[in-house]
């Protein structure tokens, strides 16, 4: 399959491009300005805010599917640049979805668990949304733009972790780096989430694409835990001291943007439609560890040199 992946140097975009290429797909990754070396897929630079040029490039590639990962995902950046966040997180995916609909090709849009306010948890796909931050508000606007422009699009609400190009992009890398250095750090006991290991997410998204699924899906771990317990789990698997992690409440701290606390999501829909369970949290942390043992993080970082 000829596949376009936007945001191909980001945590999800890069792992997804590598996973798809390993499965035999012909992948073209799109990135704003970042260059990569030695990657097993094609990388092209394009500014998605220059939509006419971007769509001309994408049309020339004759893709058979598009997975749109590019976004402003930094909460502080979004809070300080709401207009830019809206353009990137809402307007751009809407235009891309419309183009894909007109071209008759599948379109996958990556959204976030943060479209919910975390007041109750256990959210299903048809539950009412209530995003708290500018980031979350613009991501929900992106869902709506994609759905309006392309009713056959697949919208995946996700939360994930794994190894990245910089080694500093995900929560698991934060815990790994700090614990490895022997630093004391905080872990939130009241922030509950359903993190899915990024390569498991990548494989699931490709499977959903092949199954021609459409509509909104929660593509997260079927299990939940606190961010404190997530850090402890990483410490224990990698042989670090879990006592370095201080349990604290997120609600007691000043943050750069409001954050939801209980973001537990139901995965019943995706598991039923794929016919199998998604990987557990323990399985994800184990795969994170095994990939470290195999030298995968170091391999990723060579791509950026």
Mind telling me the catalytic residues? Answer: 135
Length of the chain: 305
Pairing between β-strand 154-158 and β-strand 107-112 as defined by DSSP bridges: parallel
12 CB neighbour count, 10 Å cutoff: 27
What is the 8-class DSSP label of residue 89? Answer: I
Nearest alpha carbon to residue 78 among 18, 131, 15: 131
The whole-angstrom separation of Cα 143 and Cα 237 is 36
How far is Cα 154 from Cα 253, in angstroms, rounded to an integer?
36
Return the bridge partners of 161, or none.
Answer: 197
Quote the CA–CA distance of 301 and 36 in Å, as a whole number. 10
Tokens linked to 52: 């006419």
- Distance between CA atoms of residues 48 and 6, nearest Å: 9
Residue environment code for 233-260, b if the CB has 16+ CB neighbours within 10 A, otherwise e:
bbbeebebebebbeebebeeeeeebebb
Pick from 155, 150, 181: nearest CA to 168: 181
Buried b (16+ CB within 10 A) or exposed e, 85-94: bbbbbbbbbb
Strands (E), 209-282: 215-219, 225-226, 245-248
């Amino acid at each position: 399959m000829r596949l376009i992946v936007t945001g191909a140097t980001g945590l999800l975009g890069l792992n997804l491009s590598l996973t798809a290429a390993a499965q035999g797909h012909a992948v073209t990754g799109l990135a704003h300005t970042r260059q990569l070396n030695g990657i097993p897929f094609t990388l092209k630079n394009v500014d998605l805010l220059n939509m006419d040029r971007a769509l001309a490039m994408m049309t020339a590639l004759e893709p058979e599917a598009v997975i749109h990962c590019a976004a402003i995902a930094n909460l502080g950046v979004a809070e300080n640049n709401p207009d830019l966040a809206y353009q990137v997180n809402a307007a751009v995916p809407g235009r891309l979805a419309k183009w894909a609909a007109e071209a008759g090709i599948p379109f996958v849009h990556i959204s976030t668990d943060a479209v919910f306010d975390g007041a109750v948890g256990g959210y299903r796909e048809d539950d009412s949304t209530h995003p708290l931050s500018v980031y979350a508000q613009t991501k929900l606007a992106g869902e709506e733009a994609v759905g309006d422009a392309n009713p056959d699009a697949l919208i995946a609400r996700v939360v994930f972790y794994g190894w990245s190009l910089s080694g500093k992009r995900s929560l698991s890398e934060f815990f790994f780096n700090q614990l490895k250095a022997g630093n004391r750090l905080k872990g939130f006991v009241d922030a509950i989430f359903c993190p899915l290991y990024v390569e498991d997410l990548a494989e699931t998204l490709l499977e959903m694409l092949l199954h021609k699924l459409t509509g909104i899906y929660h593509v997260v771990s079927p299990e939940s835990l606190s961010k404190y317990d997530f850090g402890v789990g990483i410490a224990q698997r990698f042989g670090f001291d879990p006592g370095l992690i201080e349990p604290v409440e997120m609600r007691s701290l000043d943050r750069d943007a409001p954050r939801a606390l209980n973001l537990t999501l139901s995965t019943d829909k995706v598991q039923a439609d794929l016919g199998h369970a998604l990987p557990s949290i323990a399985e994800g942390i184990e795969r994170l560890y095994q990939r470290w043992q195999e030298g995968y993080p170091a391999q990723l970082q060579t791509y950026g040199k």
